[in-house]
Each structure stands twice: as C-alpha cells, then as structure tokens.
Structure 1
Amino acid sequence: MEVIISENAGFCFGVKRAMKLAWDEVCKGDENGVYALGPLIHNKQAIEKFEENGLITVDNIENIKDDAKMIIRSHGVCKNVYDLAEEKKLTVVDTTCPFVKKIHNIVHDKFTEGYEIIVIGDSKHPEVMGINGWCDNSATIIKTVEEAEKFKALSGRKYCLVAQTTMNLKIYGEIVEILKNKIEDIEINNTICSATKARQEAAAKLAKDVDCMIVIGGKHSSNTQKLAGICENICPTFAVETVSDINSEEIKQYKTVGITAGASTPDWIINEIVNYIKGL
C-alpha cells in the first residue's frame, strides 16, 4: 500500500502562531489562572494537552476571574470582548490570526463609513461570529448559493463584502457573481486565506491520483469539513479524527491512499495515522 501526504496538510501559519503563543503563556502560568475564551482550536486531542498543563477553557468571559490571563484564540472575537476584558482588568493574550484581524479592520472601518456588511460564511462559526461583532452584529451572513439568490439589497445603500477565511473557493465565487448582479455599489474583498486555498487545491489534485483519501481533523473544524467535501466529489473519502476512527478492513481495499489534514490538526496525529496506514 502506497501512502501519499498532500502538500499544505496540517497546521497553517495562523494556528501554529496561536498555539505557540498559547503554550508559552500556559507554561508561564498565572496566580489567577490562564483561561482560553472558547476552545483554542477545533481539535479535541490538542486541547486536552493544554488543559492537562493548566489551561482553563470557558465559553463566556464572565466565567473568567478578574485580573486573570485570557487567551483569545486564532478565530478572533467581537469588539465588546476587548471592552469587557478591560473592565475585568484581564491580561489579554491575543492570538487572533492576522488574516482574521485584517477582516475585523475592514468590517469596522467600512461599517463606520456607512457601508452595509455582507459576510460569506457560516453564521454559527466562531470566526464569523467574531467578524459580525465588529459591525454591531448587523452583517448579512450568506453561506449558500440559495441564500444569495434570495438576498434583496437595500436601495441606495453601499455594501462591503468579506469572506470567512476557510470558505470554499468555488461556492464563494458563485455567491459573489450572484451578489454582483443584485447590488449596484459593492466593494468585494476576497479574504479567504491563501493557505486555505493552497490546501484545498492540493487535496483536490492528490485526490485525482489516488484510490481513496483520508482527511484528518476535528469533527467541528470548518476547514476540515470543506476538505472532505472537496475530496468526496473526486474519490472515496474517509474523514477521521484519530487512528481509532479508521476502519482498517475498508482501507485495505485500496492500493494508493492520499492523506490531507485540516488547519487545526497537529503533526503528531498526522504522523500516527500515516504510520498506521503504512503498517497495514
């Protein structure tokens, strides 16, 4: 059995940076505790390693002690979180991905200038929720072509469009074309991360040359789900989190196995799965 690993698999720049910053703070510690506002990344195994070393994960800033240390994850947060952190005298460790921070700035500036904001992405994803918080949660969020077709622009209003960094490129393009025909005055910002684009393109290319694909990543990882969707359209695809999710009898049917991984997947999980497949 031949195993081929896709280019750009695993941690992207933003996640690598965030994980290092967070790990450094966990190692330093704090007498009032080190908190993460939401799971650092969408990978259960990686989070467990941090929590075993003292990190406390909470879903609400109100659950963080005053004067403690708070880590803002790479997905970013809305503006009012920074305001609340200042009130609670928290030490903020901001690991927001620079590409996400750029979207925050665009949205905040354009909203201040009077633009209506459109975000192409998943309204339930923490990144999109954070982006929306930089325009007083007034953005129109569009995830599908069907939603774009139903959209009605306000007459005489200017619009600014941004996208979730992990958005599927094909769907993004289709939605943009629809909205361009519906809105007279629209500023389009393709804010899809270049690493996301490269990962998706590399996975699609590899999927054409192998008998099956294994996509490694957290079940709640948006970019991992999109990778799996791309590969499924090309060849048999298996989405897994760890070695325990692999059906060895099923994989044995294939001669050449391609492997890719989402941006929140640590190298050690990828290596473990690669070694296991090779062992078959």
Structure 2
Amino acid sequence: MAPRIEVAAHAGVCYGVERALDLAEKAAGTAPAPVRTLGPLIHNPLVVAELAERGVTLAESLDGADAGSVVIRAHGVVPEVIEDARARGLSVIDATCPYVKRVHAAAERLVSQGFQLIVVGEGGHPEVEGIMGHADGRARVVSRPEDLDGIELERRVGVVVQTTQTLDALDAVVAELLRRADEVHVVNTICSATQERQAAARELAARADVMVVVGGRNSGNTRRLAQICAESGTATHHIESADELRTAWFTDAALIGVTAGASTPAAHIERAVAAIERLSGASDGTR
C-alpha cells in the first residue's frame, strides 16, 4: 500500500511574512529605485533570491543603500535605523510585522513603568535586536533559566518574548524569575501563528513515520518546528528546497508528515509535497 502524505493543519507563511512580501513586491514597481531590503526581508534564502529576480535586492546596512528605497525587514529594527534612513533621503517602506511592533510597544511600556526588562529569545537575532532598541538600554536577553545566573535582577522585572519562541521556553524563564524577583510582569508576545504551527507540527509528528520540515535553516521558527518534531521521536528532516529530499527517508513509511516555517511560501510546500510523491509513490489526500 502506498504511503500517504499529510500537511500539518497550520504550516507556512504567516500574516506578517505575507504582508512583508506583498509590500516588497509592490515597492519593486512603485517605489523610487533602486529598492533594497535592509538585511534579508525574511529568513528564507530561496525567497530572498526570488525577490532579487524581481528587482528587490539586499543591502546589509544603510551604507549599501545610498539612494532609492529601503524596505525594513519583517523582524523590525531599532528606531534609530529608520530615522537614519530618512535622514539620508531614502524612501522607507516599513514591513515590520505588526506582531513584532506589539513587542516593541510592550517593551517601551514596561521600561517606562520602571521594570527591568527581560527578553526571552535568541541573542543576536534581528527581531531581538530590534526589541532591545525599544528598551532604553534596560533589557537583557535570555533563552533559558540558566542565563539569568549572570544577571543582577532588580526588584521589579518585566518580561516580553520573541514572537517565534515556544511557550515552554517562556514558562521556564518566568518560573525562575518568580523564584528570584519580588514582582514579575509578563507580556506573552508569542505570535498566535507560531503557537498554531508548533501545536500542529507536534500533533502530526506524533502520528507520522517521518516528518519533513520545509524552510530556511536561518529561520528560528522553522528550526524550532524541526526540534519539536524530532523530540516526538519521529525521524525528522529539515530542508530548504525539494532538491534536498532523499528516497531513503521514506522507506517503509505509511504516513509522511510535512510542515513548514512561517517564512515558507505555499509554493515551496507544494514543490516539496510533489517531490515526496515522486520519490515515495505516496498519495496526498490532505493538501
């Protein structure tokens, strides 16, 4: 009997990424040229290459965008970057995800209320760097409870979280803060799309014989989906493109599960599913 392919109930691009892509693609035909994104628009190398083919190229810094328009990436930036871009005479298209802007607002509010800010997330990640820029220098980044050991905590601590983090990671840090601080104010800024994709991936991985996770290797939320699937005990393969798929992965599999990060367009998922069908002889009844 041929294996079956099932795509997770929630998989692929979220609202913020779709909005950023729409803004960038529209800018290619309407905004002052040249049009450049400030850093990768999203964490998906294939999408970045596709945008370049449409005329939206990449600048790693404002020094590489000396004229025309600059698109602010979905992850957001520190406020000074946008001010600097406008001061240089650049046309600014702000594609920051609205959910990321919600984190910026929460960080500003907590700091203004006198809380020492803890950001639960990946140090050095573009989204986290942007959040830090809205905290008036009063934020520290942690990814796990042990990271708090080197921080001198104040009496009142506020917490926000990178939108693509897991609820387990947030809960673990908050539990340690509650043990060590007098007052802890938590704003759960994990995006609902992230939670939906993680829950759907976990549910499907528990039933599947093998999982394929589609998306950029530089995408934190995609890597976390792969981690969640692997932790279920199911053989898990993280790919960026369908060319990476291997027939041997699907030997003796009755159910092949597919999920994708929030920066993975539907077309990329479709290409992966079609390739899995060819390699495994599977049928897809849930696409």
Q: TM over 0.5: same fold?
A: yes
Q: Distance in 2 between matches of 1:237 and 1:38?
A: 29
Q: Is the 8 A contact 1:41 1:73 kept in 2?
A: yes
Residues 1:108 and 2:108 are matched in the alignment: yes
Letter aligned with residue 179 of structure 1: L
Give 1:59-208 correspondences, 5 Å limit: 59-66=60-67, 68-148=68-148, 151-154=151-154, 156=155, 158-208=156-206
The answer to whether 1:264 aligns with 2:263 is yes
Superposition map of 1:13-24 within 5 A: 13-24=15-26
Please give the TM-score of this superposition, normalised by the length of structure 2. 0.92
- Per-residue deviation, 1:162: 0.1
3-state secondary structure, aligned to 1:260? strand
Matched, 1:12 2:14: yes
In 2, Cα distance between the equivalents of 1:137 and 1:25? 33
Q: CA deviation at 1:86?
A: 2.4
* TM-score of the aligned structures, taking structure 1 as reference length: 0.94
Query: How far did 1:30 drift?
Result: 2.2
d(CA) in 2 for partners of 1:217 and 1:43?
6
Question: How high is the sequence identity, in percent, across the aligned residues?
Answer: 34
Give the 3-state SS of the residue equivalent to 2:13 in structure 1: coil
Gapped regions of structure 1 (runs ≥ 5): none
When structure 1 is superposed on structure 2, of 187-196 and 137-146 the one drifting more is: 137-146
Alignment RMSD, CA only?
1.4
Aligned AA (1:199): R
Residue in structure 2 matched with residue 28 of structure 1 by the alignment: 30
Report the counterpart of residue 236 of structure 2 in structure 1: 237
Query: Which deviates more from structure 2 when the two are superposed, residues 92-101 or residues 129-138?
Result: 129-138
Letter in 2 for 1:70: V
Q: Contact 2:111 / 2:138 at 8 angstroms: preserved in 1?
A: no
Contact persistence 1:166–1:192 (CA under 8 A): yes
Mean Cα deviation higher: 104-113 or 217-226 = 104-113
Alignment equivalent of 2:5, drawn from 3, 6, 21: 3
Q: How much has 1:245 moved relative to structure 2?
A: 1.3
Residue segments in structure 2 that go unaligned for 5+ positions in a row = 281-287
The alpha-carbon deviation at position 112 of structure 1 amounts to 3.1
Rounded Cα–Cα distance in structure 1 between residues aligned with 2:259 and 2:221: 12
Paired with 1:160 and 1:63, the residues of 2 have a C-alpha distance of 36
